[in-house]
């Protein structure tokens, strides 16, 4: 019996083999604060037309109320979600039965950089940790679990993007 992921990906791989240009996808998000003059709150739509709007707040360490997920929390959530889906998909392809899976991401930043207090302190996270707790069906070979871990890290798009960031451009209109 073929895995669900194999069945879903087989026609896509065949299509991308014939037409590599179709493999290029564009993800996007946009913000839409209800009150543009509110310095501490906004909303982000992680995908046009999905019907989901996430409140965004500012971290207390830089003067906000931290009463909603911050952009840093959302970055951690993106990595956790991507690593979780990569593990699930690779496990399915390898026919490894997952019984439990939890991914927790922690990011650490020295906010003096964001507050422009010390130019020697970079703006941004200085470290991120991804902890994966998983339980698989008893009897799963250790070598297979090791291959799952390597493959899941290698195909996690967010993790690989963070490790080798693309150029980012910002335009003001």
Q: 131 lies in which domain range?
A: 4-163
Is residue 172 in a domain? no
Question: So what's the pLDDT on residue 115?
Answer: 95
CA-CA distance, 69 to 71, in Å (whole number)? 7
Nearest to 59 by CA among 82, 76, 46: 76
Nearest to 56 by CA among 46, 172, 130, 47: 46
pLDDT value at 16 more than 90:
yes
Is residue 37 in a domain? yes
Question: So what's the pLDDT on residue 62?
Answer: 95
Is residue 70 in a domain? yes
Which range, of 25-39, 77-91, 144-158, averages the lowest pLDDT? 25-39
Is residue 171 in a domain? no
Which CATH number does the domain housing residue 13 bear? 3.30.300.20
> Exposed, middle or buried, 83 (CB in 10 Å: 0-12/13-18/19+)?
buried
Count other Cβ atoms within 10 Å, centred on residue 58: 19
List the beta bridge partners of residue 92. none
pLDDT value at 13 more than 90:
yes
Is residue 48 in a domain? yes
CA-CA distance, 8 to 10, in Å (whole number)? 6
Is residue 62 in a domain? yes
Is residue 122 in a domain? yes
Tally of domains in the chain: 1
Q: In whole numbers, what is the pLDDT of the chain averaged over residues? A: 94
Question: So what's the pLDDT on residue 1?
Answer: 60
> Exposed, middle or buried, 105 (CB in 10 Å: 0-12/13-18/19+)?
buried
Q: pLDDT tens digit string along 47-91? A: 888 889 999 999 999 999 999 999 999 999 999 999 999 999 999
Q: What is the DSSP letter of 167?
A: P
Is residue 169 in a domain? no
Question: So what's the pLDDT on residue 35?
Answer: 85
């Amino acid at each position: 019996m073929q895995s669900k992921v194999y069945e879903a990906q087989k026609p896509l791989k065949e299509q991308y083999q014939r037409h590599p240009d179709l493999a290029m996808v564009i993800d996007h998000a946009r913000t839409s604060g209800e009150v543009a003059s509110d310095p501490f709150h906004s909303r982000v739509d992680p995908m046009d037309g999905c019907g989901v709007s996430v409140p965004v707040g500012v971290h207390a360490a830089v003067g906000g109320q931290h009463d909603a997920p911050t952009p840093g929390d959302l970055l951690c959530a993106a990595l956790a979600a991507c690593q979780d889906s990569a593990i699930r998909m690779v496990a399915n392809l390898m026919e490894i039965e997952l019984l439990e899976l939890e991914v927790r991401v922690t990011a650490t930043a020295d906010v003096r950089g964001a507050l422009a207090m010390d130019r020697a302190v970079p703006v941004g996270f200085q470290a991120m940790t991804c902890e994966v707790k998983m339980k698989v069906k008893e009897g799963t070979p250790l070598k297979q679990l090791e291959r799952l871990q390597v493959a899941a890290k290698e195909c996690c798009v967010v993790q690989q993007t963070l490790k080798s960031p693309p150029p980012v451009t910002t335009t003001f209109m």
